[in-house]
Amino acid sequence: MELSFKGEVWYWRGPAPFYFVTIPATQGAKIKAVSAQVTYGWGVIPVTAHLGQSTWTTSLFPKDGSYVLPIKKVIRENETLEVGDIAKISLSIELREPDI
């Protein structure tokens, strides 16, 4: 499954600070529809993300009815992203055959 979207970079100060982009509701619904085929627990969805010249593997986390994509520090630095910037992202999600 391939998805593309734009989203704003935001900062979470929690115990382990990190930067994220929220998946828009339309794409979040598509991910949720296949989540049982791809999650490896806790609702986390493994993905390959593409942003500018950068590609990395990570996991989407469920949040507020959709998902959030963590943006690694090296990616933010390579793509010169700051909080509030709009990022154009593509995601690849590998669908597995359902167990019969």
Q: What is the pLDDT along the chain (100 residues), one digit of tens a residue?
A: 999 999 999 998 877 779 999 999 999 999 999 998 898 878 899 999 999 999 999 999 999 999 999 999 999 999 999 999 999 999 999 987 655 5
Contact (Cβ atoms closer than 8 angstroms) between residue 82 and residue 10: no
- In CATH terms, the fold of domain 2-92 is Elongation Factor Tu (Ef-tu); domain 3 (2.40.30)
pTM: 0.88
Compute the distance between CA of residue 75 and CA of residue 95 in angstroms, rounded to an integer: 25
Tokens 């339309």 locate to 26
Q: For the chain, which residues make up each domain, given as ranges? A: 2-92
Compute the distance between CA of residue 94 and CA of residue 9 in angstroms, rounded to an integer: 25
Give phi and psi for 57, each to the nearest 5.
Answer: -100, 140
Compute the distance between CA of residue 72 and CA of residue 56 in angstroms, rounded to an integer: 9
